[in-house]
Protein backbone atom coordinates (compact mmCIF):
# COMPACT_ATOMS: atom_id res chain seq x y z
CA UNK A 1 0.00 0.00 0.00
CA UNK A 2 1.29 3.44 -0.86
CA UNK A 3 2.86 5.61 1.79
CA UNK A 4 1.45 9.08 1.28
CA UNK A 5 4.56 10.59 2.91
CA UNK A 6 6.97 8.99 0.45
CA UNK A 7 7.98 11.09 -2.54
CA UNK A 8 6.87 9.57 -5.86
CA UNK A 9 9.54 8.14 -8.13
CA UNK A 10 10.20 9.26 -11.68
CA UNK A 11 9.32 7.00 -14.61
CA UNK A 12 10.89 8.59 -17.68
CA UNK A 13 9.16 8.26 -21.06
CA UNK A 14 10.97 8.83 -24.35
CA UNK A 15 9.67 11.17 -27.04
CA UNK A 16 7.62 9.58 -29.81
CA UNK A 17 10.43 10.31 -32.26
CA UNK A 18 14.13 10.29 -31.45
CA UNK A 19 17.43 10.69 -33.24
CA UNK A 20 19.32 7.55 -32.23
CA UNK A 21 22.60 9.44 -32.73
CA UNK A 22 21.82 12.21 -30.23
CA UNK A 23 19.00 11.10 -27.91
CA UNK A 24 21.06 8.58 -25.90
CA UNK A 25 23.31 11.45 -24.76
CA UNK A 26 20.27 13.52 -23.74
CA UNK A 27 18.91 10.51 -21.87
CA UNK A 28 22.23 9.93 -20.14
CA UNK A 29 22.35 13.57 -19.00
CA UNK A 30 18.93 13.26 -17.36
CA UNK A 31 19.76 9.91 -15.73
CA UNK A 32 23.00 11.36 -14.37
CA UNK A 33 21.23 14.42 -12.97
CA UNK A 34 18.28 12.73 -11.27
CA UNK A 35 17.29 9.45 -9.68
CA UNK A 36 15.11 7.63 -12.23
CA UNK A 37 13.23 4.43 -11.42
CA UNK A 38 12.56 3.25 -14.98
CA UNK A 39 12.67 4.41 -18.61
CA UNK A 40 10.00 3.64 -21.19
CA UNK A 41 10.78 3.63 -24.88
CA UNK A 42 7.56 4.98 -26.38
CA UNK A 43 8.31 5.46 -30.06
CA UNK A 44 5.61 6.02 -32.67
CA UNK A 45 7.62 4.16 -35.32
CA UNK A 46 6.56 0.72 -36.50
CA UNK A 47 9.86 0.11 -38.28
CA UNK A 48 11.44 -2.93 -36.65
CA UNK A 49 15.03 -1.95 -37.46
CA UNK A 50 14.55 1.60 -36.21
CA UNK A 51 12.96 0.38 -32.99
CA UNK A 52 15.70 -2.19 -32.49
CA UNK A 53 18.49 0.38 -32.90
CA UNK A 54 16.75 2.71 -30.45
CA UNK A 55 16.20 -0.12 -27.96
CA UNK A 56 19.87 -1.14 -28.08
CA UNK A 57 21.18 2.41 -27.71
CA UNK A 58 18.85 3.34 -24.85
CA UNK A 59 19.31 -0.01 -23.08
CA UNK A 60 23.06 0.55 -23.03
CA UNK A 61 22.61 3.96 -21.40
CA UNK A 62 20.08 2.72 -18.86
CA UNK A 63 21.74 -0.53 -17.84
CA UNK A 64 25.09 1.24 -17.40
CA UNK A 65 23.33 3.22 -14.68
CA UNK A 66 21.31 0.32 -13.23
CA UNK A 67 18.04 1.79 -14.52
CA UNK A 68 15.36 -0.56 -15.89
CA UNK A 69 14.03 0.04 -19.40
CA UNK A 70 10.75 -1.15 -20.92
CA UNK A 71 9.17 -0.63 -24.32
CA UNK A 72 5.64 0.22 -25.37
CA UNK A 73 3.67 -2.76 -26.69
CA UNK A 74 6.40 -4.63 -28.59
CA UNK A 75 6.79 -7.80 -26.55
CA UNK A 76 9.03 -9.58 -29.05
CA UNK A 77 11.40 -6.61 -29.24
CA UNK A 78 11.61 -6.44 -25.46
CA UNK A 79 12.72 -10.05 -25.38
CA UNK A 80 15.07 -9.84 -28.37
CA UNK A 81 16.86 -6.68 -27.29
CA UNK A 82 17.32 -7.49 -23.62
CA UNK A 83 14.88 -4.95 -22.22
CA UNK A 84 13.40 -5.35 -18.76
CA UNK A 85 9.76 -5.52 -19.78
CA UNK A 86 6.88 -3.97 -21.64
CA UNK A 87 4.28 -1.26 -21.15
CA UNK A 88 0.89 -2.33 -22.49
CA UNK A 89 -1.66 0.15 -23.76
CA UNK A 90 -4.68 -2.16 -23.97
CA UNK A 91 -5.58 -2.26 -20.29
CA UNK A 92 -5.63 -5.78 -18.87
CA UNK A 93 -6.40 -7.64 -22.08
CA UNK A 94 -2.99 -9.14 -22.85
CA UNK A 95 -1.27 -9.27 -19.46
CA UNK A 96 -1.58 -13.03 -18.97
CA UNK A 97 -0.24 -13.81 -22.45
CA UNK A 98 2.66 -11.38 -22.09
CA UNK A 99 3.55 -12.71 -18.65
CA UNK A 100 3.72 -16.22 -20.06
CA UNK A 101 6.02 -14.99 -22.84
CA UNK A 102 8.37 -12.80 -20.80
CA UNK A 103 8.35 -14.66 -17.49
CA UNK A 104 7.91 -13.72 -13.87
CA UNK A 105 10.93 -11.40 -13.66
CA UNK A 106 9.84 -9.07 -16.46
CA UNK A 107 8.25 -5.71 -15.70
CA UNK A 108 4.73 -5.67 -17.14
CA UNK A 109 2.71 -2.51 -16.66
CA UNK A 110 -0.36 -1.20 -18.37
CA UNK A 111 -2.15 2.02 -19.11
CA UNK A 112 -5.80 2.02 -18.04
CA UNK A 113 -6.92 5.54 -18.91
CA UNK A 114 -9.23 6.71 -16.14
CA UNK A 115 -10.91 3.33 -15.59
CA UNK A 116 -10.83 2.06 -12.02
CA UNK A 117 -12.32 -1.23 -13.22
CA UNK A 118 -9.61 -1.80 -15.85
CA UNK A 119 -6.94 -0.93 -13.32
CA UNK A 120 -8.29 -3.36 -10.73
CA UNK A 121 -8.51 -6.13 -13.34
CA UNK A 122 -4.92 -5.49 -14.43
CA UNK A 123 -3.69 -5.57 -10.87
CA UNK A 124 -5.56 -8.77 -10.09
CA UNK A 125 -4.03 -10.66 -13.02
CA UNK A 126 -0.45 -9.65 -12.43
CA UNK A 127 0.43 -6.16 -13.66
CA UNK A 128 3.48 -4.77 -11.88
CA UNK A 129 2.03 -1.29 -12.07
CA UNK A 130 -1.05 0.47 -13.40
CA UNK A 131 -0.89 3.87 -15.11
CA UNK A 132 -3.79 6.29 -15.19
CA UNK A 133 -4.04 9.42 -17.30
CA UNK A 134 -4.07 11.96 -18.58
CA UNK A 135 -3.52 13.25 -15.08
CA UNK A 136 -3.51 16.87 -16.18
CA UNK A 137 -6.04 18.89 -18.13
CA UNK A 138 -5.81 18.44 -21.91
CA UNK A 139 -8.00 18.78 -24.98
CA UNK A 140 -6.40 15.72 -26.55
CA UNK A 141 -8.35 12.47 -26.84
CA UNK A 142 -11.93 12.64 -25.64
CA UNK A 143 -11.17 15.04 -22.80
CA UNK A 144 -11.41 12.38 -20.09
CA UNK A 145 -9.05 13.07 -17.19
CA UNK A 146 -7.81 10.78 -14.43
CA UNK A 147 -8.87 12.77 -11.39
CA UNK A 148 -7.07 13.02 -8.06
CA UNK A 149 -9.88 11.04 -6.43
CA UNK A 150 -8.95 7.98 -8.51
CA UNK A 151 -5.31 8.12 -7.41
CA UNK A 152 -6.28 8.75 -3.79
CA UNK A 153 -8.66 5.79 -3.75
CA UNK A 154 -6.11 3.53 -5.44
CA UNK A 155 -3.30 4.50 -3.08
CA UNK A 156 -5.49 3.77 -0.07
CA UNK A 157 -7.05 0.53 -1.27
CA UNK A 158 -4.72 -1.20 -3.77
CA UNK A 159 -1.17 -2.45 -3.25
CA UNK A 160 -0.16 -2.44 -6.94
CA UNK A 161 1.91 0.71 -7.64
CA UNK A 162 0.13 3.47 -9.50
CA UNK A 163 1.58 5.81 -12.13
CA UNK A 164 0.25 9.27 -13.00
CA UNK A 165 0.95 10.34 -16.56
CA UNK A 166 -0.13 12.77 -19.24
CA UNK A 167 -0.28 16.58 -19.37
CA UNK A 168 1.74 17.00 -16.19
CA UNK A 169 2.77 20.44 -14.99
CA UNK A 170 4.06 21.72 -11.66
CA UNK A 171 0.57 22.30 -10.28
CA UNK A 172 -0.63 18.80 -11.20
CA UNK A 173 2.54 17.22 -9.82
CA UNK A 174 2.14 19.14 -6.56
CA UNK A 175 -1.51 18.08 -6.33
CA UNK A 176 -0.94 14.38 -7.02
CA UNK A 177 2.36 13.85 -5.20
CA UNK A 178 0.68 12.60 -1.99
CA UNK A 179 -1.42 10.00 -3.82
CA UNK A 180 0.72 8.43 -6.55
CA UNK A 181 3.77 6.17 -6.52
CA UNK A 182 5.27 7.32 -9.83
CA UNK A 183 5.06 10.18 -12.29
CA UNK A 184 5.58 9.18 -15.93
CA UNK A 185 7.26 12.21 -17.45
CA UNK A 186 8.13 12.55 -21.12
CA UNK A 187 7.29 15.39 -23.49
CA UNK A 188 6.95 17.66 -20.47
CA UNK A 189 10.76 17.77 -20.35
CA UNK A 190 12.00 16.66 -23.79
CA UNK A 191 10.44 19.68 -25.48
CA UNK A 192 12.69 21.89 -23.36
CA UNK A 193 16.30 22.60 -24.33
CA UNK A 194 17.56 21.54 -20.89
CA UNK A 195 15.56 18.40 -20.10
CA UNK A 196 17.39 17.75 -16.83
CA UNK A 197 16.53 21.21 -15.51
CA UNK A 198 12.90 20.85 -16.61
CA UNK A 199 12.66 17.56 -14.73
CA UNK A 200 14.26 19.17 -11.70
CA UNK A 201 11.54 21.82 -11.68
CA UNK A 202 8.82 19.12 -11.68
CA UNK A 203 10.57 17.16 -8.93
CA UNK A 204 10.83 20.32 -6.83
CA UNK A 205 7.07 20.79 -7.17
CA UNK A 206 6.52 17.55 -5.20
CA UNK A 207 7.90 19.25 -2.09
CA UNK A 208 6.19 22.59 -2.62
**96 in any annotated domain:** yes
**123 in any annotated domain:** yes
**4 in any annotated domain:** no
State the pLDDT at residue 3: 42
> Between 23-33 and 195-206, two packed helices, what is the crossing angle to 10 degrees?
30
pLDDT band at 4 (very low <50, low <70, confident <90, very high): very low
**2 in any annotated domain:** no
pLDDT band at 142 (very low <50, low <70, confident <90, very high): confident
The tens digit of pLDDT for each residue in 118-134 reads 999 999 999 999 999 99
**CATH number for 115:** 3.20.20.70
Q: What is the mean pLDDT of residues 72-95?
A: 95
**24 in any annotated domain:** yes
pLDDT band at 6 (very low <50, low <70, confident <90, very high): confident
Tally the domains of the chain.
1
**18 in any annotated domain:** yes
**1 in any annotated domain:** no
Are 152 and 180 in contact, with CB atoms under 8 Å apart?
Answer: no
State the pLDDT at residue 207: 86
Q: What are the Cα distances from residue 142, in Å, to 44, 114, 134?
A: 20, 12, 11
**185 in any annotated domain:** yes
**Whether the model pTM is above 0.75:** yes
Range of the domain at 119: 9-206
The tens digit of pLDDT for each residue in 149-168 reads 999 999 999 999 999 999 99
Amino acid sequence: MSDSHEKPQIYLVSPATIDVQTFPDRLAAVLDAHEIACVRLALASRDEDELGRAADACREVCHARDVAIVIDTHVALAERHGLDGVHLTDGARSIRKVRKTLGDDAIIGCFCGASRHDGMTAGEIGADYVAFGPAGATDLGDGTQAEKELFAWWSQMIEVPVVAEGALDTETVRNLAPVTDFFAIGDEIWREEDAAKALGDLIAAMDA
